A and B are shown apart, each in its own frame.
Chain A
Amino acid sequence: MNKPPSWSSHEESLLLLNAYLDNELDAASALNMERRLANDPALRAEHDRLAQLRKALRSQLTTARASDDFRKRISAIAEESPSDNYSSVVVPLPVRTRPMNDWRRIAAAATVAAIVTAGGMYVFLRSNSEAIDIAAIVADHQRALLAAAPFDVASSDRHTVKPWFDSKLALSPQVVDLANDGFPLAGGRVEVLEGKPVPVLVYRRRAHVISVVAVPHTGIEATTEPSLVTTKDGYSVIQWHGRDFNYTVVSDLAENELNEFVKRWREAAVER
């Protein structure tokens, strides 16, 4: 891809570096960034600073927990209010219009120009390809549910499943045993994503099936960053980066239960 001349500017490097750390770059741009990091000590230093900041934020900031009392008040909203009275309520879009001084208008115009420049960066972002990934992973999960069994190798023993992947794919994702937490291992299967075979672990929770897709991603260390939760076609999808693999979990399980599963899984994977 041809870069506009302005792309060499430092500011744009920083934006790309941030996007890289946020895992928002497409594969080619991420590789490119890795190469630049290896050759540019200043960029490397900035990378380390940002990584430290992230670590500090993730380890020090806790999310709020609603008190039971508050939770009750919130669930009461749906019970008390007859919805008809509210059906015409429109949620306002976040548009803020306020008077501006002339010089500020100029500043705003400069901002707009800056934004237009930055617009060229969309092409480097991975959002689309990632959306396809999730769609593909969910579709595979659905297909697996329609098949006679959602796995190719049936075993609740991780010492059977792990070598099976090893022999089949020459890949060895972490397989953890969560039977004691109520998520017994059911087996494993192979899925083809973007033309490459990837291992999928299958767990069960009551009648629900949980697919854990492990996409190899060499050179990436396991992180403690929070998992990314989305939904697709009613399935909960949770993603995170583990040691050498990017993991995606799909299930029709309630989101909080699936979160619990991911939490236990990651904890168990770290202990190993």
Chain B
Amino acid sequence: MDDRQRFNEAVLPHVDDALSLARWLTGNAVDAEDVVQEACVRAFGAIATVRDTSARAWLLAIVRNTAFTWIAKNRPKAVVTAGDEALFEQVELEMVETQPSPEAVLIEKTDAEHLHLAIAALPQTYREILVLREIEGLRYQEISKELSIPIGTVMSRLARARHLLIQRIGMAGQGKAGAA
């Protein structure tokens, strides 16, 4: 199989997924296209290293790396520092209240716009893991490999990401209800 054929089989079927991930990482559709195009050039360069079993996760990893390089170059202020990351890890999972929560109802009624805003407002570290799991549908093992972090970290970040998101949606929903 030549490189071109390999590229067509390993990369092209996943362009939509790559674009989704890039959109979430860069925050807009135009930048996402730039990132994915650059990532695909890199992917083609490294096409010999891809294994059939993991083409999708492999491409997404390249997209992610390209996105960070791209963000560092084009929006230096937006770069998340390692220190921030360590700080995020400290966010405690708060105790759940025992009473049945009105949040559940709010979450269900949340519209797409609020959900987008809430996800966009998440710290980068949490946003990317949430997107990889919920939107790209990767398994813990794949996320662990792609982000080069232990599975335990995947679990704790994901739990925190969801926790923060629920809080934010809950708050937005309450704000809305108050205004109405």
Contact = CB atoms under 8 A, between A and B. Distances in A.
A5 interface: no
Nearest to A44: B100
Nearest to B99: A45
A108 B84 CA distance: 10
Closest CB pairs A-B (n = 7): A118-B152, A86-B45, A89-B45, A64-B19, A60-B112, A111-B89, A78-B7
Contacts of A116: 152
A153 to B, nearest CB: 32
B20 A24 contact: no
Interface of A: 10-11, 14-15, 17-19, 22, 24, 41-43, 45-46, 48-50, 52-58, 60-61, 63-66, 70-71, 73-75, 77-79, 81, 83, 86-87, 89-101, 104, 107-108, 110-111, 114-119, 121-122, 125, 127, 226-232, 234, 254-256
Contacts of B64: 94
Contact of A49 (B47, B48, B81, B166): B166
Nearest to A119: B152
Interface of B: 3-4, 7-8, 11-13, 15-17, 19-20, 23, 29, 32-33, 36-37, 40-49, 52-53, 55-56, 61-62, 64-65, 68, 81-83, 86-87, 89-90, 92-93, 95-101, 103-104, 107-108, 110-112, 115-116, 133-135, 137, 139-141, 146-148, 150-153, 155-156, 158-159, 162-163, 165-166, 169
B82 A64 contact: no
Contact of A104 (B12, B36, B83): B83
Nearest to A232: B53
A75 B12 contact: yes
Nearest to A43: B96
Contact of A57 (B82, B115, B153): B115
Contacts of B4: 78-79, 83
B58 to A, nearest CB: 9
Interface centre among A43, A49, A94, A96 (most CB of B within 10 A): A49
B135 A107 contact: no
B158 A18 contact: yes
**Residue from B40, B61, B111 whose CB has the most chain A CB atoms within 10 Å:** B40
Contact of B52 (A43, A94, A234): A234
A226 B137 contact: yes
Contacts of B116: 61
Residue of A57, A100, A121 with most chain B CB atoms under a 10 A cut-off: A57
A89 B42 contact: yes
A contact face: mostly helix, strand, loop, or mixed: helix
A61 B152 contact: no
Contacts of B163: 14
A99 to B, nearest CB: 8
Contacts of B95: 10
A14 B107 contact: no
B179 to A, nearest CB: 20
B39 to A, nearest CB: 10
Contacts of A89: 42, 45-46
A55 B152 contact: no
Contact of B40 (A74, A87, A231): A74
A232 B81 CA distance: 37
Given A78-B8, A122-B152, 12 more contacts: A15-B155, A43-B96, A46-B96, A78-B4, A83-B47, A89-B42, A89-B45, A91-B46, A100-B82, A100-B83, A104-B83, A118-B150
B96 A45 contact: yes
B95 to A, nearest CB: 6
Q: Which of A55, A64, A86, A101 has the most CB of B within 10 A?
A: A64
B148 A93 contact: yes
A188 B55 CA distance: 31
Contacts of A46: 96
Contacts of B87: 104, 107
A91 B41 CA distance: 11
